Amino acid sequence: MIIGLTGPIASGKTTIAEILKEKGFEYYTFSDILRIEAKKKGIEQTRENLQKLGADIKAQSSNPGILSRLIVENARKEKKENIVADGIRTVDEITELKKYDAYIIAVTAPQEERFRRLKKRARPGDPESFESFKKMDDDENKGKTKGQDINNCVKNADKVINNSKNAEQLKEQVLTLLSSLMGSE
């Protein structure tokens, strides 16, 4: 089974991936593929540079869902059955994953809550102020940043989970959904 995760920054995608990993899923991220390529090319691994690199890789390929294909191919090479692909940013990536019967989960949360989470996780390159976060977030979500169209990804998901409460409630929602999905196989 392949589960793809999409949603805005700091909405809870990685938390869902951790829950799925506990259930035996192998974890892959779109960012990891880009980091590997950035390292090969000597590109500094900032959020902006990785986004540009992703757009460049897609522009050079006849397959706009190339990153999804690379994740699936890598998983198959490693003989992984259940995988979670974290960080879908375009509908083309969803379309490509759907070719492999993937189930797409979108996770959302209010912008103020996501900014609090972002500050708490303190990753390099994350915006420092709410104003800069809001501008970046709005641009990514509305497709104004090349290669980023989160709102349309959420609209194309099979399931949308609202993660505005706490980690325990998120885990309960994910486990209930997973039980339903595994039962339908």
CATH class of the 2-178 domain in this structure:
alpha beta
Please state, in angstroms and rounded to a whole number, the distance separating the CA atoms of residues 139 and 148: 8
Please state, in angstroms and rounded to a whole number, the distance separating the CA atoms of residues 136 and 144: 9
What pLDDT digit, counting tens, does each position of 93-139 carry? 999 999 999 999 999 999 999 999 999 888 877 888 999 999 888 87
- For residue 172, how far is the Cα from the chain centroid? 20
| Model confidence, pTM | 0.85
Please state, in angstroms and rounded to a whole number, the distance separating the CA atoms of residues 45 and 142: 23
Length of the chain, in residues = 185
Please state, in angstroms and rounded to a whole number, the distance separating the CA atoms of residues 143 and 181: 30
